[in-house]
């Protein structure tokens, strides 16, 4: 299932990584942010929306990694470069991430930023849409959000261009030992 | 056709940017769509969609109520209305009550349908379209030319000119840069907007949810940043069950843009918290605007199965020439013609319904399984019923309905045409008829029609008989094709009978909406063709075959005439096209083609009615290859040649370029001969080759096979 998901997600320009445990995934994200020049300045900082991944983790302080913030507001999101959130499920046959986005923070960091880093418990990858619809119902979520690759358009001369209103990069970080908690 | 309409066509076909962009897109679309559907049983999928959508269409009222109940239980406000003016007022009232100054919109055809933007702007509200294509046309002061790709008619240079004015900076036509400019310009608008307006791709009654699909992410911002969200949804978007979302999500992106899924899909069920912690005000407007009337119409209820993918535009040989603006201001293309006739008025579709050449491409790809060509014919029929036929057509059909007079005139034409004909083709016609021979020579009427020559053919007396239905073209222009058919069937032990009372199949009248005339032709032909006891009624013209096998029945049904229906069905059951019959005879060992010869390369043009209505594709190819020809397929072998019966006479400015494209593809194949099963296509393509000066031979399959019969 993972392999199919990865192939399909990469086919629509998402970047897919996989880690066994949380610490390795965290290290990857921190290294990625540093390499991409995260800093405590407009258009350079990262916002991490509250999610199960963060439970019980030792996170770097602002002093250790300036520019990584855990408070999400509309104003902050509007000027952030990176947004980090967790997806609840994924669809293997289309390479799609699925989030319960009832809480607005998850949407803000995954839409207003330039780079969206999405955590995904590897064992929540489902085969397809019909399976998802039997598991996730509007009674549980007022805003079920699906994300397949970065924002794109072909509205000018049918030329595919990445990054219109949403992120121009989507980094998917699959974690095997994250559990299926949503 | 109005002069204004003719002028808009003239402008479109002479706009090289437009036809270039659309042509390239339609070619790429076909390949990409096929790839997106790989491994999927399209017929099964669209069968399910057609079923769930038609079931929803049959219960629009109940589903609207159920949707409203469920959405309201979740905290949304639902407004149901049939009246565009009332809907505009409702939206304005919500805006005024909340002190709204600016609105951001994600793409919605329903708002285009009620012309919402100019209305709100007149009331002093700033409206910003945020879909890139919609924003471009908003800046340009235009209307969308395509449901999915509103600005497909514009070049990057035109876009860079528009954007340059917007940002007061000279921008180059660099697409990624232009997209970035749009992002930078629209971002503050999103953040400042007081209200977001969206459409809805699906509305689910069981859960009171609306589903929004975008690639750019603008619908997510429109539904997230402003504190008020209004979704305007046509009630044809309703489905009953939550699970019904899945098949539509599977087909819509694949058919619309050849994607497996759009980048963003949101299922919104009731209001969600705003960034400041307050609860969003969510209004959902269920718009009827004649959709219920459509659902009550036995013919047009089918159109509610549309999921708005616009694939009917993408595969249309006419759309790729003229683009969307010729169709009008809102809905364009095949389905657009139907929606305009209903949501606007029947009269508005008078000109645009004539754009359909009835090739059937759209019917083949429609994920809602809508018979778009048939519905457009029904529009024609109703227009003719309401307004009568134009005088000239009336005169023509009064002749066509009188076989003796009609055939007499055709004979006279053979004499009258003589001075203009050379080498069997008429190259030029005088004055007002000049358009007829524009880019194409017409066949001279044969000096002796098939019906006269038939009497002189000496056939063996055989037990098994087949009735031959010649159709006007073989009878009066290509009698040699009929003679070839007799020769082949005799060889297989079948005697051919030609009832002389047979007349025009009625297709020309039917395709012009003159169903009464077509019904008259049908009755005459049924009487003639069933007068002889024969195993088959065979025709070498696919359009005639379709008339005999399908359209006599549907013409009677449309008119509510059931007197001749049983006989029409009897005739339909016996009717067979030439290639299918011959393939059967060869397979049964009753007919042998001389094998082993190397006769050189041919390319095969698959005629619209044969390929898409009769579903015959392999038979003629196999026969020709068996006879020793090497088959070299041309690009787009099954795209229309532009003939379309009287279409080429009414709209030569469209038929001409379609023919030119066909000629180009034939020549590119490298074959010295192009073969087809339809005398109408022979007339169009042979005439085109003649004017073009190309040396490629144009033949009917029947002619080539008749030369290859083994003893």
For the stretch B159-173, pLDDT in tens is 999 999 999 999 999
Nearest CA in chain A to B267: A144
Within 8 A of B249 by CB-CB distance, chain A residues are 129
- pLDDT class of B646 with cuts at 50, 70, 90: confident
pLDDT confidence bin for B4, thresholds 50/70/90: confident
The mean pLDDT value for B622-634 works out to 96
Instruction: Determine the topology of domain B49-285 in CATH.
Output: Rossmann fold (3.40.50)
Query: What is the chain B residue with the closest CA to A112?
Result: B221
The residue among A132, A128, A149 whose CA lies nearest residue A141 is A132
Q: Hey, of B19, B153, B275, B313, which one would you mutate to test binding to chain A, going by the most A CBs within 10 A of its CB?
A: B275
Residue-level pLDDT at B508:
84
What residue has token string 């307050």? B278
What pLDDT score does B650 carry?
82
pLDDT, chain B, mean: 91
User: Predicted confidence band at B348 (pLDDT cuts at 50, 70, 90)?
Assistant: confident
B145 — pLDDT class (breaks 50, 70, 90): confident
B301-310, B435-444, B483-492, B635-644: segment of lowest average pLDDT: B435-444
> Across the interface, which of B209, B218, B266 has its CB nearest the CB of A145?
B266
Give pLDDT, residue B434. Answer: 43
Residue B588 has pLDDT above 80, yes or no: yes
Average pLDDT over residues B666-695: 94
Helix (H, G, I), strand (E, B) or coil at B282: strand
The answer on pLDDT for B392 being more than 80 is no
- The answer to whether the Cβ–Cβ distance between A102 and B273 falls below 8 Å is yes
Confidence of residue B423 (pLDDT cuts 50, 70, 90): low
Strands A161-162 and A169-175: unpaired
Q: Is the dihedral of CA B379, B380, B383, B384 positive or negative?
A: negative
Do B242 and A143 make contact, defined as CB atoms within 8 angstroms? no
Domains and CATH numbers, chain A: 2-178 (3.40.50.10420)
Task: State the nearest Cα–Cα gap between A121 and chain B, in angstroms.
Answer: 20
- Output b/e per residue, A31-68; b: 16+ Cβ within 10 A: ebbeebebbeeeebbbbbbebebbeeeeeeeeeebebb
Report whether B23 contacts A157 (CB < 8 A).
Answer: no
- Interface check for A94 against chain B (CB to CB < 8 A): the answer is yes
Å between B48 CA and nearest CA of chain A: 14
pLDDT at A62: 73
Q: Angle at Cα B222 formed by Cα B250 and Cα B285, nearest 5°?
A: 75
pLDDT at B293 over 90: yes
Q: pLDDT tens digits, residue range B105-114?
A: 998 999 999 9
Cβ–Cβ gap B272/A142 under 8 Å: yes
Give the pLDDT of residue B429: 43
**Contact (CB<8Å) A96/B154:** no
Across the strands, what pairs with B422?
A: B425
User: What predicted TM-score, i.e. pTM, was given to this entire model?
Assistant: 0.90
Backbone angles phi, psi at B453, to 5 degrees: -70, -35
Residue B428 has pLDDT above 60, yes or no: no
Query: A135 to chain B: nearest residue by CA?
Result: B243
Give residues 105 to 144 of A whose Cβ lies within 8 Å of B: 107-108, 111-112, 128-130, 133-134, 137-139, 141-144
The pLDDT value given to residue B425: 59
Kindly determine whether residue A138 and residue B131, on different chains, have CB atoms separated by under 8 Å: no
- For domain B422-435+443-587, give its CATH number from 1.20.1050, 3.30.310, 3.30.70, 1.20.5: 1.20.1050
Cβ contact, residue pair B242, A138, below 8 Å: yes
Q: What is the pLDDT of residues B567-582, one digit of tens each?
A: 999 999 999 999 999 9
Q: Report the C-alpha gap between B289 and B231 in whole angstroms.
A: 16
Q: Nearest CB to A165: which of B130, B245, B276?
A: B130
CB B539 within 8 A of CB B469: yes
Give backbone dihedrals phi and psi of B504, rounded to 5 degrees, phi first.
-50, 140
Residues of A in contact with B183 (CB under 8 A): 163-165
* Position B180 pLDDT exceeds 60: yes
> Are B209 and A138 inside 8 Å of each other by CB?
yes
Q: How far is A151 from chain B (nearest CA, A)?
A: 5
**Residue pLDDT, tens place only, B509-532:** 888 888 999 999 999 999 999 999
Is the pLDDT score of B237 beyond 90? yes
Range B409-434 average pLDDT: 55
The pLDDT value recorded for residue B363 is 96
Per-residue pLDDT tens listing for chain A (182 residues): 999 999 999 999 999 999 999 999 999 999 999 999 999 999 999 999 999 999 888 887 777 788 999 999 999 999 999 999 999 999 999 999 999 999 999 999 999 999 999 999 999 999 999 999 999 999 999 999 999 999 999 989 888 999 999 999 999 999 998 864 44
| pLDDT above 80 (res B637) | yes
Q: Decide if pLDDT at B436 tops 70.
A: no
B274/A107 Cβ within 8 A: no
Asked if B264 lies within 8 A of A129 by C-beta distance, the reply is: no
- According to CATH, what is the number of the domain B601-706? 3.40.50
Give yes or no for residue B274 having a pLDDT over 60.
yes
Grade residue B432 by pLDDT with cuts at 50, 70 and 90.
Answer: very low
Question: Do B49-285 and B601-706 share a fold?
Answer: yes
pLDDT digits (tens, 9 = 90+) for B189-213: 999 999 999 999 999 999 999 999 9
Residues of A in contact with B260 (CB under 8 A): 8, 12, 93-95, 148
Model pLDDT for residues B15-66, shown as the tens digit of each residue: 888 888 888 889 999 999 999 999 999 999 999 999 999 999 999 999 999 9
Q: What is the mean pLDDT of residues B440-455?
A: 83
Q: What pLDDT shows up at residue B170?
A: 93
Nearest to A73 by CA among A109, A101, A41: A109
Helix/strand/coil percent split, chain A, to 5: 30, 25, 45
What ipTM goes with this model?
A: 0.96
- Tell me if B218 and A159 make a contact (CB, 8 A cut-off): no
In sequence order, what are the beta bridge partners of B214? B264
pLDDT for res B437: 57
Chain A: nearest CA to B268, how far in angstroms?
Answer: 5
């Amino acid at each position: 299932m993972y392999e199919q998901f990865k192939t399909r997600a990469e086919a629509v320009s998402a970047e897919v990584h996989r880690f066994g445990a949380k610490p390795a995934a965290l290290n990857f994200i921190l290294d990625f942010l540093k390499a991409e020049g995260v800093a405590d300045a407009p258009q350079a900082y990262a916002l991490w929306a509250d999610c199960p991944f963060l439970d019980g983790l030792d996170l770097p302080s602002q002093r250790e990694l300036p520019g990584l913030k855990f408070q999400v507001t509309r104003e902050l999101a509007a000027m952030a470069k990176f947004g980090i959130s967790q997806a609840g499920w994924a669809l293997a046959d289309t390479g799609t991430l699925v989030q319960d986005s009832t809480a607005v923070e998850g949407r803000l960091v995954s839409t207003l930023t330039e780079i969206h880093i999405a955590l995904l418990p590897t064992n929540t990858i489902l085969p397809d849409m019909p399976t998802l619809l039997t598991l996730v119902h509007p009674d549980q979520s007022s805003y079920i959000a699906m994300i397949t690759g970065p924002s794109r358009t072909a509205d000018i001369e049918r030329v595919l261009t990445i990054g219109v209103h949403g992120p121009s990069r989507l980094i998917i970080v699959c974690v095997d030992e994250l559990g299926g908690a949503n | 056709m109005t002069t204004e309409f003719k002028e808009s066509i003239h402008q479109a076909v002479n706009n090289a940017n437009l036809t270039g962009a659309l042509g390239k897109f339609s070619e790429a679309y076909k390949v990409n769509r096929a790839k997106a559907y790989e491994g999927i049983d399209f017929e099964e999928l669209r069968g399910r969609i057609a079923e769930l959508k038609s079931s929803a269409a049959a219960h629009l009222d109940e589903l609207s109520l159920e949707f409203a109940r469920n959405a309201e239980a979740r905290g949304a406000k639902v407004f149901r209305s049939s009246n565009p003016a009332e809907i505009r007022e409702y939206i304005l009232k919500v805006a005024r009550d909340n002190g709204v100054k600016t609105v951001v919109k994600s793409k919605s055809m329903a708002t285009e349908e009620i012309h919402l933007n100019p209305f709100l702007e007149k009331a002093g509200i700033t409206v910003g379209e945020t879909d890139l294509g919609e924003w471009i046309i908003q800046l340009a002061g235009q209307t969308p030319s395509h449901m999915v790709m509103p600005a497909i008619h514009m070049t990057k240079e035109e876009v860079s000119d528009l954007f340059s004015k917007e940002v007061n900076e000279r921008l180059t036509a660099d697409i990624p840069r232009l997209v970035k400019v749009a992002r930078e310009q629209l971002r503050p608008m999103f953040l400042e907007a007081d209200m977001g307006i969206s459409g809805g791709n699906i509305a689910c009654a069981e859960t009171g949810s609306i589903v929004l699909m975008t690639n750019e992410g603008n619908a997510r911002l429109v539904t997230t940043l402003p504190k008020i969200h209004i979704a305007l949804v046509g009630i044809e978007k309703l489905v009953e069950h939550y699970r019904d979302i899945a098949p539509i999500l599977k087909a819509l992106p694949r058919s619309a843009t050849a994607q497996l899924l759009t980048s963003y899909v949101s299922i919104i069920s009731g209001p969600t918290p705003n960034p400041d912690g307050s609860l969003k005000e969510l209004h959902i407007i269920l718009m009827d605007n004649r959709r219920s009337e459509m659902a009550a119409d036995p013919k047009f209820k089918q159109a509610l199965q549309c999921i708005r993918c616009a694939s009917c535009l993408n595969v249309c040989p006419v759309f790729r020439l003229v683009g969307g603006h010729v169709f009008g201001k809102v809905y364009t293309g095949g389905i657009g013609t139907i929606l305009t006739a209903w949501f606007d008025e029947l009269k508005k579709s008078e000109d645009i319904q004539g754009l359909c050449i009835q090739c059937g491409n759209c019917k083949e790809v429609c994920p809602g399984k809508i018979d778009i060509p048939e519905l457009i014919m029904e529009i024609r029929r109703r227009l003719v019923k309401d307004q009568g036929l134009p005088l000239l057509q009336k005169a023509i059909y009064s002749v066509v309905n009188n076989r003796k007079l009609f055939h007499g005139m055709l004979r006279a034409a053979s004499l009258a045409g003589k001075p203009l004909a050379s080498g069997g083709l008429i190259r030029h016609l005088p004055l007002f008829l000049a358009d007829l021979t524009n880019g194409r020579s017409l066949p001279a009427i044969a000096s002796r029609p098939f019906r006269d020559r038939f009497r002189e053919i000496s056939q063996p007396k055989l037990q098994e008989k087949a009735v031959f239905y010649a159709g006007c073209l073989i009878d009066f222009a290509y009698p040699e094709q009929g003679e070839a058919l007799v020769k082949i069937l005799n060889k297989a032990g079948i005697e051919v009978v030609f009832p002389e009372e047979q007349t025009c199949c009625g297709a020309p009248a039917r395709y012009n909406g003159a169903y009464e005339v077509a019904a008259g032709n049908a009755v005459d032909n049924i009487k003639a063709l069933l007068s002889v006891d024969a195993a088959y009624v065979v025709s070498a013209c696919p359009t005639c075959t379709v008339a005999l096998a399908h359209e006599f029945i549907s013409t009677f049904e449309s008119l509510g005439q059931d007197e001749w229906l049983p006989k029409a069905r009897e005739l339909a059951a016996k009717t067979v096209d030439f290639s299918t019959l011959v393939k059967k005879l060869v397979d049964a060992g009753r007919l042998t083609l001389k094998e082993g010869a190397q006769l050189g390369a041919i390319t095969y043009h698959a005629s619209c009615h044969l390929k898409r209505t009769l579903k015959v594709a392999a038979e003629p190819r196999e026969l020709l290859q068996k006879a020793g020809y090497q088959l070299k397929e041309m690009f787009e072998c099954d795209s229309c040649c532009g003939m379309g019966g009287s279409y080429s006479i009414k709209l030569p400015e469209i038929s001409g370029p379609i023919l030119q494209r066909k000629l180009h593809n034939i020549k590119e194949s490298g074959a010295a001969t192009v073969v087809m099963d339809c005398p109408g296509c022979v007339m169009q393509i042979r005439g085109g080759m003649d004017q073009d000066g190309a040396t490629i031979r144009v033949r009917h399959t029947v002619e080539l096979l008749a030369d290859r019969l083994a003893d």
